[in-house]
Amino acid sequence: MELVPGQSPGDEKTEDMKEAGPSQSRPLRLHNGFRTHFPGAVRKKAFIFDGLGKFYSKEWDLAEGSGKEFCWYHVELPKGNQKLSQLAQYLIDVLCPPLKLQDILSLVSNGPFCGHVDGALVFRVNSPGPASSDFTFRIAARITDSSVITVSLGRVPRLEFSLVSESLLSEIPSVESPSMRGEEKHAGATVIKEHVLEFLLTMNHSEEVDNPVPRTLSNLLVHIVDTHVDHIQDVVTKLEMELDTVELEIDKGGFALKKQMLDDRRFPKMHLNLQRLLQVITHGEQVFPRVKEKCSSKRWFSNEDISSLEELIGRLRRIKENTGFLASRVTAIQAGLDSWQAEQINRKLYYLSFLSIIFLPLSIITGVFGMNVGGVPWTGQNNPAIKDGFRNVMLLCVAMLLLVLMCFIFPAMYTYISAWRRKRAIRRSFSLNRKSFLRKTFGVQDRSGYLRI
């Protein structure tokens, strides 16, 4: 069977590829006595490039290319609630042998890294967030002279290659309407679902249809870094569109919508996601310049690809600035909602204070005329000849009220008097200094015409 360039990696036709592929004379490296412990959990893709603008799907043997040929092996770890140790076990089952445990740990560990491991250049940009989060990015690569092994968490958009005739965007699409029930073609055009169109609108360009096939290993490396930056840009663009929609809803919404947003803590969660994106971008700013520095000394890395890496690094910095602006917008919106909530609370307290004003005189009157002064000292209620007990209690209440007022007024009066005395001393000192300055300046005249200071 003849092999077609750009064949899908899911077609496992190893015998035909060994007969028709460009590396038919090279023996394949097989896994002797190796068995996968996690079948179906990890997606594997293998390609071989002939260096002339064509690529083929190949068997997963982790063999390196010969001559102008170079191979690319890509592993997609599942996005779920797996622990980091479980992801490492996935890679051990897929890549060991021929890779060693040190290579596996350098690919799956968290944080930024760029260096040589066992003779190969390894770099990673792995954020330590939960694996199931959409804002956790993990991309790592192991590069030799004729092969590249990459590991990503989930699918990375536009990372693969496909033929133009297989793309949905190669034809003029018509957006699906409620009247089209399950129809795939309408008036000679391709029907595109509405949610697919919204997904494509968040991307900078279409899917794999416009990806040029790498002719060198350096082209492939630039393509991997470019797709990672594009992936971050897609997420930032999607957040920006979501933020624009939320701002419009807040402007048009009322009490119920704002209260729902505060209860759901929507903006604190969005701010946390933006901070995770900033962390990933910062990791890229640390790693990719070192990748460019280390690859510039390689004989297989061209000057054009070095310039492309510099452009990607500059683009990553601009994405960081845009993410910072989004974080500022989220903070401003959250501050506006907090101010609105404080205003609602103050309004309710105003109503409560108004009710207190109404019922306070009534409480005072009922409290005063409902007093039972019998048995209170200095009232003389036990003596029938003395009937001034109520008056004595009221005088005692007034005296206590004056004492409390003095306790509150005395510190304020003391502060006011101290400030007045301090101002007076400063004013007096300024007056004395001014008189002394005038006496020294104009009291003695110098014949030379200069003022003595």
Reported as a single tens digit per residue, the pLDDT across 4-24 is: 444 444 443 333 433 344 443
Q: Which residues pair with 114 in a beta bridge?
A: 123
Give the per-residue pLDDT at 342.
86
40-44, 85-89, 110-114, 190-194, range with greatest mean pLDDT: 110-114
CATH number corresponding to 43-160+210-343: 1.20.58.340
Please say whether the beta carbons of 122 and 142 come within 8 A.
Answer: yes
* Helix/strand/coil for 153: strand
Please say whether the beta carbons of 174 and 192 come within 8 A: yes
Higher pLDDT, 147 or 394: 147
In contact, 75 and 151? CB cutoff 8 Å: yes
How far apart CA 294 and CA 311 sit, in angstroms, is 17
State the burial class of residue 294 (Cβ atoms within 10 Å of its Cβ: 0-12, 13-18, 19+): middle
Q: Work out the mean pLDDT of the chain and round it to a whole number.
A: 75
Query: Average of pLDDT values for 253-274?
Result: 80
| Domain boundary assignment for the chain | 43-160+210-343
How confident is the model over 116-142, as pLDDT tens digits?
Answer: 888 888 998 988 878 788 888 888 999
pLDDT at 15 (0 to 100)? 39
Tokens 């890779």 sit on residue: 99
| 163-218 tens-digit pLDDT | 544 445 555 555 565 554 444 444 455 666 766 666 666 555 445 556 778 888 88
Nearest to 40 by CA among 76, 70, 4: 76
